[in-house]
């Protein structure tokens, strides 16, 4: 799966873009395996802080680590890493696979950020 992150200028444009994509899906004009996240620059900056980007890049290496191991590897607190993973799960970027005693996060697909010209 490919995850596209689209940045729009403001919340009004974000709502318009969400409606446009929803209409295209309803009309069966969009198929495939792409998940689009539409954000304003402010939301992008909050969601993709440098530490969260480090977390995503670590997950992209496809090495299996539970949350405790990730926190240790990234030199961050367990609670903060877990909170970030839950946020990414809400946006459809990460799947949290629960084991008997641990949670193993998995990046869902490939993240694509179109360049802005």
Specify the CATH number for the domain of residue 50. 1.10.10.10
The residues with which 112 forms a beta bridge, in sequence order, are: 4
**pTM exceeds cut of 0.95:** no
- Quick check: is 69 in a domain? yes
- Quick check: is 117 in a domain? no
- Quick check: is 79 in a domain? yes
Confidence band for 39, pLDDT divided at 50, 70 and 90? confident
Judge whether residue 21 has pLDDT over 90.
no
Q: How far apart are CA 13 and CA 49, in angstroms?
A: 23
The residues with which 3 forms a beta bridge, in sequence order, are: 35, 111
Confidence band for 32, pLDDT divided at 50, 70 and 90? low
What is the tally of structural domains in the chain? 1
**Structural domain span for residue 72:** 2-112
pLDDT of residue 89: 93
pLDDT of residue 117: 43
């Amino acid at each position: 799966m490919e995850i596209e992150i689209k940045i729009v200028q403001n919340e009004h444009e974000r709502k318009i873009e969400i409606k446009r994509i929803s209409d295209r899906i309803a009309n069966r004009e969009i198929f495939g395996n792409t998940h689009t996240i539409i954000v304003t620059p402010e939301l992008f900056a909050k969601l993709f802080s440098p530490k969260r980007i480090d977390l995503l890049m670590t997950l992209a290496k496809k090495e299996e680590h539970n949350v405790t191991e990730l926190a240790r590897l990234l030199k961050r607190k367990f609670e903060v890493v877990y909170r970030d993973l839950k946020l990414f799960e809400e946006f459809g970027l990460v799947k949290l696979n629960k084991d008997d005693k641990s949670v193993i996060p998995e990046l869902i697909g490939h993240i694509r950020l179109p360049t802005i010209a």
